[in-house]
Each structure stands twice: as C-alpha cells, then as structure tokens.
Structure 1
Amino acid sequence: MTKELVINMTSHETRVALLESGHIAELYIERRRERGIVGNIYKGKVIRVLPGMQAAFVDIGLEKAAFLYVADVLAEMEAVEQFVEGRSQHAEPEDGHEDEQPPLPPIEDLLQEGQELLVQVAKEPIGTKGARITSHISLPGRHLVYMPTVDHIGISRRIEDEEEKDRLRGLVEEIRPAGTGFIVRTAAEGKSSEELRSDMEFLVGLWEDIDKRREHHGAPCLIHSDLDLTSKVLRDTLTEDVNRIVVDNREEHDKIVRFLATFMPNLRYAIDFYEGDEPIFDAFGLEVEISRALGRKVWLKSGGYIIIEQTEALIAIDVNTGRFVGKHNLEDTILKTNLEAVREIAFQLRLRNLGGLVIIDFIDMEREAHREKVHAALEEVLRQDKAKTNILKISELGLVEMTRKRVRESIGRTLCEPCPYCEGKGYIKSRITTAYEIFRELQREIRQLPGYRVTLLCHPDIADLLSDEEHEGIEEIERRFQKQIAIHSRPNFHLEQYEILVG
C-alpha cells in the first residue's frame, strides 16, 4: 500500500491529508483563528468542585471552563498513580496498557476552589462541552512519550515482538531519570540507545523549561503550546511506509525539511514542492472526497449503501441493500452487503474522525455463523485504526455497539455548522402543518381582536397555500367569526413564522 502526505497551506488554514493507495484516509485541519489546543499546557485555577460528579471545573483562560475528573488529578497517592500507569493522552492511541482501576480518593480531598495547578488539554472543547484536562502531563517525542509525574515504563501494543519489547524496556530503564515515566512509541521499534537517549534528553529539557515558566506566571495562563499541525502530523503519523510528502507552500516545505533533518535524520523521504497551477487538493482529487465525507449517504460498490447520522449522544450507522439484489439467495446477499459495509464503515469512521459511542445497524442475519463472520471482519479492519476501539458482539437484532476514542472534533463539525433555518434539527414543519397551525391560532385569537378586519402575515409559500388549496379553511373562519382575513406574504419570514394583527 502506497502512502503519501499531501499538505495544503494558506495564511488562514492548513490541511494535511494522508493518502493510502491514492485515496484520502485521514484528514487534519487547523485554522489560524481556531487552532487546536490538545497538548497545550496551562496553569489553571479551580473555580468549582463537584463531589457528586467526582470532578472539578478549572479556569484555564478559555471561553468555557475546562473539566477535570478525579482520576486526572495529580496527587502523591499510590492509588492515583496506579490508576494512571501507562496513560498518555498524546502518545499514539494504541500506546501503553490499561490496568484494573483501584478506588480513587474523593475529589474534595484533592482540590479546593481557588487552588492553582498545572494541567494539559486531553480533549478539545466539543459542542457545548469545555475542554477535558489532566494534571498528568505527557510530552510526546518521535520515539518516546515523557510522563514526568508517573513512575512507569509502557510499551506500544503495536510492537508485538516480545524480545524487542524487553530490549526497549531495558534501554529506557537504564537511561531514564529516576521516578519518571516513559511510553515507548511504535516508531521506536528497532531504534538504538543513542536515538532514544536523544529523544529523552530533548523531552526532559522541555519539561524543565515548562516547570520554570510555571513558577513565574499566575493562573490562568498558557504555559506551553503543542506543535503546529504539520509538525504534529509528521511526528505522530510519519512512518517508513510513507513514500512521499507533497506541500504547496515553499516556506512550509523548507520547514518540513529542517524538521525531518532534526528529528528524523535517519529516515529518507521524497519531499516535493507542488508548483502546479491547479490547487493541490484538486490535483489529487481530494476536494471531491472531502465533500463526500460530509454527506449522510455513502454508496457501496455493490449498490448497497450506509447512512451515517451524528447526534449529540452517539453516531448511528444504518446498512441497507439499496439496489443490490444478489445472485444466489437472500442470506448471501445480506452477508455480502454487511461485509462490504464493514470495510466502508471503518474507512468512514477514520476519515470523518467520528468518535464516542457508535451504533451500527447491520441488515438482520438469521445465521449465527454470518453474524460472527461480520463481527470478526469488523474487528479485523478496526485493528488498522490508531484510535482505540471497543466492540461488543452483534445482537440478534443486528446491532453492534462500539466505542472509538474521540480527541478532536469530527470533520463534519469542523467544516459545518448547524443550519440556521432548521436550527440543526434537519427538518422543519411541513407547509400543511403550518397552515393548520395558523387556523388553530386564528380561532384562538380572532374573537379577542377588535374591528372587522384581521391581517395575517406569513411566508410566501404559506400565503399561496392559504389562498389556493386551503382557502376553504380561511373562509370557514371568516364566516364563523364574521371577520375579514387579509393574507400578506413576507419573503423574509421563516417558513414556520406568522403574525396575526388587527386591521
């Protein structure tokens, strides 16, 4: 599989696309006015402690207060330290391991209102929620993630060779500062002691600088900003199987060359400066793919399709046979459609960066063997996803419940905003419903209005409906209440908006 990084940079926006076999697999977007804050380190002030939620709100200088859960509060307690062993918000999602969670102390024993503490953003503000923060700082490098507050060594789960795991653990144990923690990243596989030491020295020096800055600044205050988007993607995504990097900005091109020479000197990549007249994303056919990633319906090659709905609570995905009728029997047709949908669902989750709770409604399968085959296929394709996933068995109704780790906003919510007309509902009242609502409102209000003449102001489509197909309803009200109703259209009215006036 050939992989490429295509980078489009302007004065207001940076977009980085990871291509696999010529098709976009992951998309990262950073806008100058909306730059992401995951990885940033702040000196914050506790503004409210919530014992009932085992959490606290912390002012870090953003519009919304950040949310700090008890497990993310740094304390010199063995239980808390055990809880966070192996955790790194900014390592690759598969890095580290999970332990059984011990009991945690009450939040009110750890934090008080007005208290200042150093925290790091683990999740962007999403929707109406503020940023999720942690006081367990983690500083990612190319090969290692430094955790100055945790005494632990973790190894990426993607490194499968046990001898290599032992070698890397021994190297890190030998050279790490006492009492500190490190996660060995996938990129460290096969690396020498000198390469790991260089990464470690840089990260330890960075932490010392952060610690000094904390002492000289009051809360709330930004202490350390994570890398810009391009550098972050290069650090976290770039591997030996990426064949080429193409960028359309000369300054960014030169910066990438310097970055790779400094942090990845042993790797050799083709770094091309794109000079074509056509915009770079158009030249690679990416704009069309991005537009398709914003749609609800995704067609499958067989003629079936999936529907993706993103709600506040969960992501709902529905699988349908569509135009696909199959060649043998119904069960085989359903199985083939579900298996094809599995690959597309995994692709769309990754491309759209959908996370949280995901419910997949596969087409009902009567045979248990078919359900197991679809479930195994879903597990297999999701192993390629760097974001952590957890999948439950397919129910008899054909439903799969799964979770996918969410750190940043989805592509849909990054590129789109709620429709101002329907207020994000995705639908409005029909013209007939609005017309009949007007009839009921007229009957309630008209007897209380003085005079003989009543004026109704409404949207032009509703005015046409009331004057034509539904004129009998208006005439009936006029006869009943002995009033004359004059209908006037207002082009600037919402379709559901209307006003009843005297005269």
Structure 2
Amino acid sequence: MNGRQIILDHINGREAAALMVDGQLDDLLIESDAPRAGTIYRAIADRPVKGQGGMFVKTPDGSAFLRQVKGLAPGDRILVQVTGMAEPGKAIPVTQKVLFKSRYAIVTPGAPGLNVSRSIRDDDARDALLAIAHAEAGEADVGLILRSACEGAPEDEIAEDVRAMLDLCEAVMADVEGDVEMLSEGDGPHVAAWRDWSEPADVVTEAGSFETHGVLDALEAADGDEVALGSGAYMYVEPTRALVAVDVNTGRDTSPAAGTKANFAMAKLLPRALRVRGLGGQIVLDLAPMAKKDRRGFEATLRAALKRDVIDTTLVGFTPLGHYELQRKNARTPLTELLK
C-alpha cells in the first residue's frame, strides 16, 4: 500500500505503534519494562565516579547515571530526565537538561529564547508562530521551540499545546524538595507516535490492526538478521554483546561495480534496519569490496540517510581494515527482547 499509515495496537500485551511507509515498516515503538524515555525524577545524588566526571543518583526506579556533573555533592536533590534505555546490568541514563516535549512545542528550562523550527521556511508562517510564542511564553523565564508539526496546524491547538507544556514545566520544576519520586512519566508508544510522527498519515486504531495491515509480517522479517538490498544483494544485521555487526554481501553479482552498489544501498536502508530492531551502541559495517575513491560518496549517502533518522548517530569513520564505524544512542529496547 502506498502512503503513510500510523497503526496503533498491542503486541504480546504491550502497547505498540507502527509507522508503515509505502507498505514497509519504517519505525516501531513498543512498550518495554524499562523506564520510559522522557520520565522526570526527583533524584538524590549518591556517589561520584572518579575519572569519568559522572555521578550515580538514586531514583524510585533504581540507580541512574548522570554525566558531566559539576558542583553536585552526595545527598543533593536534583531533577533528572531519562534519556534512553538502560543496558542490562547498567544504570538508567539521565540528564539534568530537562525538556518538556509535545507535538507542537518543546519547553526548555534554563535555556531561554523563543524559536521556530528551521524546517518551516515560509516567512508569514514563521511570523505567525512567533506571535503565538510571544503571546503564550513571552513572559516566561524558560525557552520555547515550536516544532515543524506547527506548519499548517490550527493556531488554537498550537497555543493550547504550548500552555499545557508551560504548566507542566512550572509544576515539575518547582517540586524539588522531598524524597526520590517520579514527577512526570515519559510518553508511551501511542502518545509518542502522535507527538513525533507528525507528517500526514492515515491513523488506524482498531484492535488486531497489526495483523490486518501487515505489521506482524514485517516484525517477523525484522526479527531476523537478513535485509534485502535489491539486485540480489543483502546485508546481515547481527547484534553481539559488544557491538552490532553489519555484513554487506553482493550475492551472485560479481561485476566490478557490485560492491559499490550494495554498499550505497545499505547506507540508505541502514537507519531503518537499526530503528525497527531497536539497536544502538557501537555499529561496525563490514562493507563489500569498493574502490577507495567511492568512500566519500558512500559516507555522504550514509550521512544523508542518518540526518532523517530520529535517533542520534555519530559517524566515526573508516578503520585501517576498511570497516566503517558508527556510534548510535541506545534509545530503545532491542526488538528481539520485546518479542520473547
């Protein structure tokens, strides 16, 4: 099926949301047992980590790790926000840079300023949105970013969303005193889909829609390692304890350009393959044979594909052995764990 579909359902008793683009599973959110990203805690500083500039803090959901700590002593009460998934046996990753994020607005305590997404280029639209920002948040001592979803949206809905985020921000930021406590829970898959998948799409909410709209078939394919690249080429995406290995193969094509074509196809499809599998950390690409003169074009293609991705990924570069390395944020629980 052509076009975009947002499908809201449950799988194995877990709330889930799938984004299908032209019949392909493009993104996937499934509730996990870990604390949700975006959850805000009142935490208590516990013990510093010498040599790393970080500190373990106590939260109601267990120990969390806070990086780049300055002026914080054990026993201090602070507000922290969950930034991603805690790896097995490790502390919950948190930050002191708390954000309040909704479909139309992001409120940024400690970072004042009124801004509109750079993807909105129409001057009249930007002026109208800035007028809303000044009307709703001009007197606030926090920052406000109006997101790209604001373009074409009703002004009253945008204003209402901004007010809701400002009210939540005010209530949470004032609640510092007391024992460890969850002050605001992060969004579940259905709300996160409404918040972040803002481009026009058909929304399907009927129970069982994962089966009737091909999501379960796509999940079965994503639960495996092999991803077709076209023209008989394929890649294997295999998570290990230390890293995610991606192996590119040309299949039966033995022409001189086969390796280059397969590598470029992999670069375009890799973000989606990692996204729907919930994989992050160190990513090592074992590329098909390719001339060194094509490396720059490959890297540009990969960078362009990752620019459209929702998860932060850093391009590290080529190794002496010709592998390519990336560092990707561990933002989600791996799909293989959620489908057990």
Q: Which TM-score band applies after superposition, normalised by the shorter structure?
A: 0.7 to 0.9
Kept after mapping to 2: 8 A contact 1:363/1:398: no
- Among residues 163, 168, 172, which one is paired with 2:133 in the alignment? 172
Structure 2 CA distance, aligned partners of 1:163 and 1:350? 35
- Among residues 220, 225, 231, which one is paired with 1:302 in the alignment? 231
Letter in 2 for 1:203: M
Kept after mapping to 1: 8 A contact 2:36/2:187: no
Secondary structure in structure 2 of the residue aligned to 1:291: helix
| Cα distance change, pair 128–10 in 1 and its aligned pair in 2 (3 A) | closer
Aligned position for 1:126: 87
| Cα distance change, pair 228–386 in 1 and its aligned pair in 2 (3 A) | closer
Structure 2 CA distance, aligned partners of 1:158 and 1:315? 32
| Cα distance change, pair 246–167 in 1 and its aligned pair in 2 (3 A) | closer
Secondary structure in structure 2 of the residue aligned to 1:52: coil
Structure 1 residue 195: Cα displacement: 4.4
**Would you say 1:203 and 2:161 are equivalent positions?**
no
Secondary structure in structure 2 of the residue aligned to 1:379: helix
Alignment map for 1:128-147 (pairs within 5 Å)? 128-147=89-108
Secondary structure in structure 1 of the residue aligned to 2:264: helix
Q: Percent identity?
A: 27
Aligned position for 1:362: 287
Kept after mapping to 2: 8 A contact 1:45/1:116: yes
Structure 1 residue 394: Cα displacement: 5.1
Structure 1 residue 160: Cα displacement: 5.0
Aligned position for 1:23: 24
Letter in 2 for 1:349: L
Alignment map for 1:300-379 (pairs within 5 Å)? 300-325=229-254, 330-366=255-291, 368=293, 370-379=294-303
Kept after mapping to 1: 8 A contact 2:8/2:16: yes
**Would you say 1:286 and 2:202 are equivalent positions?**
no
Secondary structure in structure 2 of the residue aligned to 1:343: helix
Structure 1 CA distance, aligned partners of 2:20 and 2:226? 22
Structure 2 CA distance, aligned partners of 1:312 and 1:161? 47
Structure 2 CA distance, aligned partners of 1:359 and 1:173? 46
Aligned position for 2:60: 61
Kept after mapping to 1: 8 A contact 2:36/2:188: no
Letter in 2 for 1:137: V
Structure 1 CA distance, aligned partners of 2:239 and 2:309? 20
| Cα distance change, pair 144–27 in 1 and its aligned pair in 2 (3 A) | same
| Cα distance change, pair 377–118 in 1 and its aligned pair in 2 (3 A) | closer
| 1:32-88 deviation line (CA, Å, top 9, x unaligned) | xx264211111111111224211111010224x100112xx6xxxxxxxxxxxxxxx
Secondary structure in structure 2 of the residue aligned to 1:339: helix
TM (normalized to structure 2)?
0.87
Structure 1 CA distance, aligned partners of 2:192 and 2:330? 17
Aligned position for 1:224: 184
Aligned position for 2:3: 2
Structure 1 residue 221: Cα displacement: 1.4
Structure 1 CA distance, aligned partners of 2:191 and 2:157? 19
| 1:7-31 deviation line (CA, Å, top 9, x unaligned) | 2237931121110011211111115
| Cα distance change, pair 346–137 in 1 and its aligned pair in 2 (3 A) | closer
Structure 2 CA distance, aligned partners of 1:372 and 1:49? 42
Kept after mapping to 2: 8 A contact 1:365/1:398: no
Kept after mapping to 2: 8 A contact 1:364/1:398: no
Structure 1 residue 366: Cα displacement: 2.2
Kept after mapping to 2: 8 A contact 1:346/1:382: yes
Aligned position for 1:427: none
Alignment map for 1:254-293 (pairs within 5 Å)? 279-293=208-222
| 1:310-351 deviation line (CA, Å, top 9, x unaligned) | 2344322111122333xxxx3222222222323332331222
Kept after mapping to 1: 8 A contact 2:45/2:56: yes
